[in-house]
Amino acid sequence: DTGVSQNPRHKITKRGQNVTFRCDPISEHNRLYWYRQTLGQGPEFLTYFQNEAQLEKSRLLSDRFSAERPKGSFSTLEIQRTEQGDSAMYLCASSLQGLSTEAFFGQGTRLTVV
Amino acid sequence: DAKTTQPPSMDCAEGRAANLPCNHSTISGNEYVYWYRQIHSQGPQYIIHGLKNNETNEMASLIITEDRKSSTLILPHATLRDTAVYYCIVRVAGETSGSRLTFGEGTQLTVNP
């Protein structure tokens, strides 16, 4: 297993278009997280899944954002009607469930909305 | 989750130890201290975590004060590849907790030749 995989690595889209990103976690990890990071800031939590259940969503996750993890394995993050303010790095992480388990991050998808 | 305070930047000479401080004076008894780092344009990388006792792994050592209000991450022999933003995070850990990580702005460590 090579770790958390995210695709695509880069995406340029026009304002108003929809985009979808994919995350493949480490295979035995049942927790999956999405974060967003803008330039010069630390990552900000968006949402998290335990298996296929979406258990927590940040207020940052507006109604234009939707995340799914249909079979408890890979996850997708869709942004509808993109805005320039959506330009950021979108990071996915996965972990095991447990008392003190570390999360492993992917390399991220860099979104540029023009 | 408790708030953390870190210096915005630090410099270190290659081959010397890098000591990165973190204050977390409002930490609760069930909160762990985690350290991650992020090299430019990459995802964050886990380094180490601890609850009360000092911890050491192949990457670093974590020293937590007895009152748990501060900690220090030590990179014993810094290399140029250790140049990164280092994040100190405190997090409630539990079987049913969400386990989100709340990142601050971190410390930009620059290792100089």
Which residues lie across from B10 on neighbouring strands?
B109
**Residues whose CB is less than 8 angstroms from the CB of residue B59 and which lie 6 or more positions away in sequence, other chains included:** B47, B48, B75
Judging contacts by C-beta atoms under 8 Å, the chain B residues touching residue A23 are none
Q: How many CB pairs under 8 A join A and B?
A: 58
Average pLDDT of B67-74? 96
Among B3, B42, B101, which would you mutate to test the A interface (most chain A Cβ atoms within 10 Å of its Cβ)? B101
Extract the tokens encoding B41: 């344009």
CA–CA dist A68, A54 (Å, integer) = 8
Judging contacts by C-beta atoms under 8 Å, the chain A residues touching residue B94 are 99
Q: Do A42 and B103 touch (CB under 8 A)?
A: yes
Amino acid at B56: T
d(CA A108, nearest CA chain B) in Å: 6
- A15-26, pLDDT tens digit by residue? 999 999 999 999
Please report the beta strands in A1-108, taking only residues with DSSP state E, as ranges in sequence order: 5-7, 10-13, 19-24, 31-37, 44-50, 53-57, 65-68, 75-79, 88-95, 104-105
Q: Do A55 and B98 touch (CB under 8 A)?
A: yes
Q: Do A43 and B106 touch (CB under 8 A)?
A: no
CA–CA dist B86, B73 (Å, integer) = 9
Extract the tokens encoding B54: 């000092």
CA–CA dist A97, A76 (Å, integer) = 20
CA–CA dist B42, B68 (Å, integer) = 30
d(CA B60, nearest CA chain A) in Å: 15
Cβ-contact B27, B92 below 8 angstroms? no
- B41-61, pLDDT tens digit by residue? 899 999 999 999 899 999 999
Extract the tokens encoding B66: 């007895």
- A40-71, pLDDT tens digit by residue? 899 999 999 999 999 888 888 889 999 999 98
The shortest CB-CB distance from A107 to any of B42, B46, B101 is to B42
Q: For residue A8, say if its preceding peptide bond is cis, omega within 30 degrees of 0.
A: yes
- A26-40, pLDDT tens digit by residue? 998 999 999 999 998
